Amino acid sequence: MSPPWPKGKKLVHLDLKGARPRIGYLHKLIELFSRLGADGLLVEYEDMFPYDGELKLLQATAHPAYSREEVMSIQESAKARGMEVIPLVQTFGHMEFVLKHRSLWHLREVPLCVGTLNPHKEEGFKLVMEMLRQVVDLHPGLRTLHIGADEVYTLGEGEDSKLWLDSTGGTVEQLFLSHVNKVAKAIKEAWPDMNIIMWDDMMRGMSQDTLKASGLVGLVQPMLWDYTPNLDVDKTVSLLEKYHGAGMSDLWAASSFKGSTFVHTCVTCTQRHVDNHLQWLKVAASLPAAINMRGMAITGWQRYDHLSVLCELLPVALPSLASCLQTLIHGEFSTEANRKVTETLGVSSVEVEAMERASADESLFPGRKLAELILEINSLLDSEDFRFFESNMFVRGWFSPYHRQRKTVNPLNCMHIHKQASEYLDTLQKKVEALKKEMVALYPDSTVEEWIEEHISAVMAPLQRITEAIQECIKEMVP
């Protein structure tokens, strides 16, 4: 057993670049996060923020952005529970939601990389600062801001960067630090008391001397992220010691409760994420007392990036989040921690796949009915009957591509195939209708459409094609 997580904030990360909850559902979630032990939110708005003026084009169109009133209500709901809200605004990498727009293509580092900003164009810097200004203005009393700056892919490969590297003799590391410095200093000029957090990954390979000379010491607070269940404790401690040795005395950690297993994961594995937190507790226990850990962001990625598919929806990940928070609070996932989770959520197991059907008050676990329907549908789609229907004996033996092309089939056997496929389709369709009803109450229509198209349509389509093809063939064979 490790000691509980050291003094500092436990932030729940809300990734709103996919499946953003309806505001009423989000208020219920914030209340649950508080009951489970969270004391802050790290909110990554992306295109869900109500940008206006010249930045209005950044607002989502397919997925409706939150209104100004809704953004204020999120903060009020959190504040009423003593929770701090920290906005995350990307300022360098992962700017897909900005640079995908045709009118802003010229601000990319290289044409093929939609996520990385060209650090040499003043227009790009001004755009970033205007994004920050609008977000800060809509967060009165804001004390801390996260500027992203992770995974700045292809940096140094653009023509402007190549020219800069050649003319200055500088390095890609220095190019990265130069832009982050410019943004951070501008933030301090505009809001002198603002704390600035940034992701650490672009600095991991830098020497301590490079970091000391970076200009970022005293200006930013690195947030070291690692979401793996087998996190390397010694390596992570060494990294944190390096940052501290360079003079970066305020540090953060970032773990994960969902959205970091596979890009298309549909159902969360609680144990995987608990294991990640157990490793982080070992890191915390191994740190020298001089290192000031300001807190941990428990990330819940909704997409790997703006243009990727949806990861697990929040309802199926709530047992994982609850378990991770209680692991940090207790220093292990003890019997007491397990009991706190099951009682708070009204569930029989912290593994969402092992939950029994709802019998307790659903309000204990906002979105539980949707989670159960997702599990049922996922189980159905993973069954051999569905996944391997086109490979079953009857289809391969009596309705192969050869038979379909020539419309020469055994009608009796084909009608057996047709009956099976139709029954599967009917079963799935009934569950999908129930899922739609639950999902649309918690998420925008566009999210419902996306989830169904990604997870259901791809499985239904082959079955539908088979039933239609059999009907066509039967016309040719039966009077």
How many other β-carbons are positioned within 10 Å of the β-carbon of residue 4? 14
3-state secondary structure of 275: helix
CA distance 165 to 157: 10
Picking from 231, 214, 122, the residue whose alpha carbon sits closest to that of residue 177 is 214
Write the CB contacts of 350 (distance below 8 Å, at least 6 apart in sequence).
270, 319, 320, 322, 323, 338, 341, 342
Give the helix/strand (H/E) hosting 145.
strand 144-146
Phi, psi of 49 (to 5 degrees): -85, 140
**Cβ atoms of 438 and 450 closer than 8 Å:** no
Burial letters 425-442, b for 16+ CB under 10 A, else e: beebeebbebbbebbeeb
Calculate the alpha carbon distances from 66 to 20, 47, 184 in Å: 9, 9, 27
For residue 151, indicate whether it is catalytic: yes
CA distance 353 to 18: 23
**Cβ atoms of 299 and 228 closer than 8 Å:** no
Q: CA 318, 146, 17, 50: dihedral to nearest 10 degrees?
A: 120
Count how many Cα atoms sit within 13 Å of the Cα of residue 226 in the half-sphere of its side chain: 22
CA distance 163 to 105: 20
Quick one: how far is CA 251 from the chain centroid?
22
**Cβ atoms of 213 and 170 closer than 8 Å:** no
Q: Which one is catalytic: 31, 151, 241, 390?
A: 151
CA distance 479 to 75: 69
Phi, psi of 78 (to 5 degrees): -70, -45
**Cβ atoms of 65 and 49 closer than 8 Å:** yes
Q: Which residues are catalytic?
A: 151
